[in-house]
Amino acid sequence: MLGVDFPKSLTRQVEEFLKGLPQPENGPFDINYAAICRDTKRIFPNAVTRGEVIRLNWDFLDKRYRGNWVSWGSLSEMQQGMIKLHHRSVEGFQLEKSCPNRKPEDIESWYAILRPGPLYVDVATKILLGWQRVPGTDFEVLVVKKPDYDSIDEVL
């Protein structure tokens, strides 16, 4: 679905949700150039070109926020725990069921349709990039979450 066809009332809800997240990494985007998946209800910014052609490939992650993204499910429990320690909260992200394949583009279809959608992490920076549901809607957007703590010493 083209973002230009997205209801204005829902556009405002998406904008308000993004405004409530840390900035500038979760900045607003022009919904008119977004593509919306009818099945998963995920909104992909900057995926529509002139002539209303949808162009979407795996660079959508780096377009949202540049990083060396790997699937959350490919990390060991120890790695996941260490990354969680760098964040006050990981609420809203898909932590329970995640594809064990490391590369995001190697996701198995069963994991791709889970709600909320997949979570990715840049292991070196501890930055999270994952789908979260926009409150009051069925739609999801990619949310960037930088670590709250630089080291484990700050947590302890």
- Domain positions in the chain: 3-155
pLDDT on residue 51:
86
pLDDT in the model for residue 50: 85
Rounded distance between C-alpha atoms, residue 19 and residue 27, angstroms? 7
pLDDT of 152? 73
Structural contact between residues 141 and 92, judged by C-beta atoms closer than 8 angstroms: no
Determine the number of helices (DSSP H) and then strands (DSSP E) in the chain.
5, 8
Q: What are phi and psi of 103, to 5 degrees?
A: -75, 130
Q: What is the pLDDT of residue 156?
A: 65
Cβ-proximal residues to 121 (8 Å cutoff; 6+ apart), any chain: 69, 70, 72, 75, 83, 127, 128, 129
What contacts 29, CB < 8 A, 6 or more positions away? Answer: 18, 45, 46
What is the DSSP pairing of strand 53-54 with strand 127-133? Answer: unpaired
Q: Is the pTM of this model over 0.85?
A: yes
Which residues does 47 contact at the CB level (< 8 Å), separation at least 6? 33, 34, 35, 54, 55, 56, 60
- Tens-level pLDDT at each residue, the chain (156 residues): 899 999 999 999 999 999 999 889 999 999 999 999 999 999 999 999 888 899 999 999 999 999 999 999 999 999 999 999 999 999 999 999 999 999 999 999 999 999 999 999 999 999 999 999 999 999 999 999 999 998 777 766
pLDDT value at position 155? 66
